[in-house]
Homo-oligomer: A and B are copies of this chain.
Amino acid sequence: MANSSSGDGMTERLVRVLETFTPTRTVQTAAEIGRRADLPSSTAHRIVADLVGAGLLERDDDNGIRIGMRLWELATRSSAALRLRQAAMPFMDAVQTRVREHTQLAILEQDEALFLERLSGPRSGANITRVAGRLPLHASSSGLLLLAYADRGTQDRVLARPLARLTAATPADPAAIRRLLAEIRARGQAVAPGFIEDVSTGVAVPVRDGTRRVIAALSVVLPREASPEPALAELHRAARGIEAALARYH
């Protein structure tokens, strides 16, 4: 039997092992994992072996270790947020087909905007967003939209921290951001010209659940010179479609 303290440590070490994998570091040796997770070599080798045995990690032909498909499957098949994504997909497709720019779905997660999905056409422009990637709440159109509808505690916490400027246009003054959030709530949409990258403007609208609570931001990344209005009209139409689809699930 594991005792309580070894159990606590084990879960935390497991998470540390999984966290050593990143979008640019998808294959590692067990020794590299141990070094990056700050674990003794023997502990790292044992945890990796356990996780490989359970299918959460996979070993390739050259002894490299990767994230296993079983982990993705367990995480995906029963997640409510991923059902939101699935309900949203046909409507995101429609936006992408008409606007022909990156179309994204994000939720508020641990004080950041977490991107559940991004659809890109062959001719979509620059965009630093990744699926399962994050952006700061104060800098992206999705993040500002989510922050505008977040509870006061979340807003105060986020605005009390240092706010990085990603470009000269990124809002970084808490008072100015609060005015921006009020404007977003008044208009029911967010426009972020050059806040993340000089060359693009993010536009985002809210997606609400049956109780009218905002649960996600639906957004498009436009070239800076494009008018945001046609994209916003498409996004509002898609958000209403997603909300109707979610209502049918209940």
Q: CB < 8 Å: which of B8, B77, B81 contacts A132?
A: B77
Q: CB < 8 Å: which of B14, B18, B66, B89 contacts A119?
A: B89
Q: Is the CB of A81 within 8 A of B72?
A: yes
Instruction: State A10–B8 Cα separation when bound (angstroms).
Output: 10
Most chain B C-beta atoms within 10 Å of own C-beta, residue among A26, A70, A77, A96: A77
Q: CB < 8 Å: which of B51, B66, B74 contacts A71?
A: B74
Determine how close the nearest CB of chain B comes to the CB of A79; give it in whole angstroms.
5
Instruction: State A21–B122 Cα separation when bound (angstroms).
Output: 37
- CB closest chain-B residue, reference A130: B77
Instruction: State A158–B120 Cα separation when bound (angstroms).
Output: 38
A121 on the interface (CB 8 Å rule)?
A: yes
Q: Is the CB of A133 within 8 A of B11?
A: no
Q: Is the CB of B73 within 8 A of A72?
A: no
Q: Which residues of B contact A19 (CB under 8 A)?
A: 74
A86 on the interface (CB 8 Å rule)?
A: yes
Q: Is the CB of A69 within 8 A of B120?
A: no
Q: Is the CB of B54 within 8 A of A67?
A: no
Q: Which residues of B contact A71 (CB under 8 A)?
A: 71, 74-75
**Proximity bits, A95-116, B CB within 8 Å = 1, else 0:** 0110000000001011000100
Q: Is the CB of B11 within 8 A of A80?
A: no
List which A37-96 residues lie within 8 A (CB) of chain B: 46-47, 50-51, 53-56, 66-67, 69-83, 86, 89-90, 93, 96
Q: Which residues of B contact A21 (CB under 8 A)?
A: 74, 77-78
Instruction: State A18–B14 Cα separation when bound (angstroms).
Output: 14
Instruction: Report A's interface with B, CB cutoff 8 A.
Output: 1-4, 6-12, 14-15, 18-19, 21-23, 25-27, 46-47, 50-51, 53-56, 66-67, 69-83, 86, 89-90, 93, 96-97, 107, 109-110, 114, 119-122, 130-133
The 3 A-B residue pairs with the shortest CB-CB distance, nearest first, are A2-B6, A11-B50, A21-B78
